[in-house]
Amino acid sequence: MTYSVIESIRNSLGRGTGTPLLRRPEIFPARQPESVDVEIDQFLNEVNKLSGVGKHITTQEIAERLKELVCSENIHKATLWDTDLLKQLGIEDLLRETGVELISPNASKQEMELCDLGITECDYLLPETGTIVLRSSNKKPRGVSLLPRIHLAIVIPQQLRADLHQVFAEAKDAHYLVFVTGPSRTADIELTVTLGVHGPKELYVWMLKGSI
């Protein structure tokens, strides 16, 4: 007879095959959100506390902000999610106008590695921790928020959720999810905090104001 882990567990616990499941403990109820403005403030505040750069901007400001970012961070190559909001905002054209070379989000990892900037949207936001939650698909590849040295997420207030309970209730069917909270960090050498050890060194989060 082959050894079965499940069999061995049942023997140790004295549980037969038909033993019914005990009821699991009840979890606390979800957090009640504040007004949208308070939640936005809290969210951006948390992003900034973690050495990210969180900003509340209007859609009209985007062109100028992008230009500033391209100059200040010395950006030559960029890649971005192939999603509706980013198209609507005309991000691709804005980047081309500033002389940035665009790489397809479905390009090989070697090509994407050379990008200075990766731009994504996000699916959900958690104000308590300053977390952005990203799903994954052909149009929203995982590499865009991971390989370039700078990650910019353009987000909207509608993506705010009260807490983990809400996010999980909506997203547990996703085959891949990642929570991003601030830039990549380590304190492995003499406990000195260093940013950007494997993931992006910088995280920009732009929250759009008003209706889109």
Partner 1 sequence: MSEPHSYIGFEEYSQRIPQSIPAAVQQATSRFVGLRAARVAEMPHWEQLRQLGSDIRLHTIENLDYYLTKLEINVQAAGGIVHWAATAGDARQIVLQIAKEHDVKLAVKSKSMATEEIELNHALEEAGIEALETDLGEYIIQLAGTGPSHIIVPAVHLKKEEIASLFSEKLKIQAPADPAVLARIARETLREKFLNAEMGITGANFLVAETGTLVIVTNEGNGRMCSTMPDLHVAVVGIDKVIPDWETLTVFLKLLARSATGQKISTYTQFITGPRKEEGEFGPKEFHLVLLDNGRSKILQDSVGREIFKCIRCGACANVCPVYKHVGGFAYGWFISGPIGAIFAPQMLGTRVARELPYASTLCGACADVCPVKIPIPKILRHLRKRVAEGDVVSGPAMATSIRATAGLVSLALAWNWIYRTGTRLLPSIMGVFLKDGWIPSAPYPLSRWTSVRPLPRFNAQFRSWWKNKLGKKDTSR
1 touches partner 1 by CB under 8 A = no
- Write out the two tokens for 46: 């948390």
d(Cα 140, Cα 146) in Å, to the nearest integer? 12
CB 2 to partner 1: min, Å: 9
Please report whether residue 12 would count as binding partner 1 according to CB under 8 A. Answer: yes
> Using an 8 Å Cβ cutoff, are 184 and 150 in contact?
no
Does position 176 bind partner 1 by CB under 8 A? yes
| Nearest alpha carbon to residue 105 among 154, 153, 155, 144 | 144
When binding is defined by CB under 8 A, the residue of 143, 148, 153, 155 that contacts partner 1 is 143
53: contact with partner 1 by CB under 8 A: no
CA nearest to 134, candidates 83, 202, 72: 83
Does residue 60 interact with partner 1 by CB under 8 A?
no
| Separation of first and last alpha carbons in the chain | 64
Q: Quick check: 199 binds partner 1 (CB under 8 A)?
A: yes
Quote the tokens at residue 65. Answer: 């902000």
CB of 22 to partner 1, least distance (A): 6
174 binds partner 1 (CB under 8 A): yes
Closest CA to 129 of 168, 161, 175: 161
**Residues within the interface to partner 1 (CB under 8 A):** 3-6, 8-13, 15, 21-22, 24-25, 27-28, 46, 105-106, 109-110, 113, 128-129, 131, 136-138, 140-143, 146, 163-165, 168-169, 171-192, 194, 196-200
